[in-house]
Amino acid sequence: MLNVQTAGALAGVKVVDLSRVLGGPYATQVLGDHGAEVIKVEPPGGDETREWGPPFRDDGARRGPSGYYLNVNRNKRGIALDLRKAEGRAALLRLLQDADVLIENFKSGTLEKWDLGFEAVLQPLFPRLIQARVSGFGSEGPYGGFPGYDAVVQTMTGLSSVTGSPASGPVKMGTPVIDIASGLNAVIGILLALRERDRTGKGQLVEVALYDVGLSLLHPHSANWLWGRKMPTLTGNAHPNVAPYDLFATATRPVFLGVGNDGQVKKAFAVLGIPELGEDPRFNTMAARNANRAELTAILAPIFARHDGVALARTLLEAGVPAGPLNTVQEALEEPHTAVRKMTIATEGYKGMGSPIKLSATPASLRKLPPDFGADTDAVLGEAGFDAEAIAALRRSGAIPPK
């Protein structure tokens, strides 16, 4: 569980979050976990992931937000604002007067269409503002401005082509890895821009495109092609450059054996009762093991098949060999080590994943539960200088939805 009510390393940083779905919200949750004040601005229809269920937080006629939404939107306040209306855009500009960061994932050109472009409008008005843009393909190039979702970009950047086995054919990864990595890259970009602003006093535009991120995740296949013109093949759980590095069936649960150097191989062979293979010229170097991986796999498979998977993985780990049993999602989340690492949260009716970023002096904290739709609209606008009548006028104009 996260430490509760610590200020956080980003205390004092104000973030206006116009993003929806996953990449942007994941980024702003990271910022919020570490102390930033995050104001989530949703359109009149809300973030569509509120409906991406089941499961939902509540049952009944008004189900409440989905687990999907709840898992990436804590430590934020929520308001509703229609930026298609001039009054909504004017309200946004008021919110940006003391903001440090604006993050959005609109289709490229949308803010410009609304006269909210960074170079033409926002940077002259707010020189210290950092705008982070998460998009499918970026604003330039043959695909510039096109919409992009994680699975589509996995396919286009080659990630799906290296995932799967000869039997399965190419498959997308089981998690939206590009969306999440794009969120993390957005956080990195924002922190870099904040550091540069400390030096110059000026903000800048941070652009993160899912397409670029997908390509950046192709290692080592990109290196194998760039340096050796080597095209990857579908190898299932095996590694194209390392052996033995694969999932082995056991008498109980499969175990992944992953060794990265000759010393680890010798330790693994000793645990498995075949220490002589450590000196065998077929297997005593990485290049030799790669050249003879089929023969090595044929030797290892029946040995693994005789063991209990969990016990064998533990013995290998204790010997200094990277190995682990194949866990289900439930087994991984209920693993005692997960609890010790504070990687799950269950408090005040909220359940979610903990922060993987462990800071000794300013740890992440749970300060706000994910907001209900528009829950903080009046309070946030009041803090921005709108009195009760001005807020009522915004409601009458349709810039903010009725209560």
Q: Is 179 considered catalytic here? A: yes
Phi-psi region of 359 (alpha: psi -120 to 50; beta: other; left: phi over 0): beta
Q: Which two tokens stand for residue 209?
A: 């495109």
In a 3-state reduction of DSSP, which class is residue 192?
helix
Q: How far apart are CA 392 and CA 399, in angstroms?
A: 10
3-state secondary structure 193-232: HHHHHHHHCCCCEEEEEHHHHHHHCCCCHHHHHHHHCCCC
Burial 370-398 (b: 16+ CB within 10 A, else e): bbebbbbbbebbeebebeeebbeebbeee
Q: Which two tokens stand for residue 281?
A: 């010229």
Annotated catalytic residue, options 33, 47, 179, 246: 179
Backbone angles phi, psi at 111, to 5 degrees: -65, -35
Q: Are strands 350-353 and 365-366 parallel, antiparallel or unpaired?
A: unpaired
Catalytic residues: 179
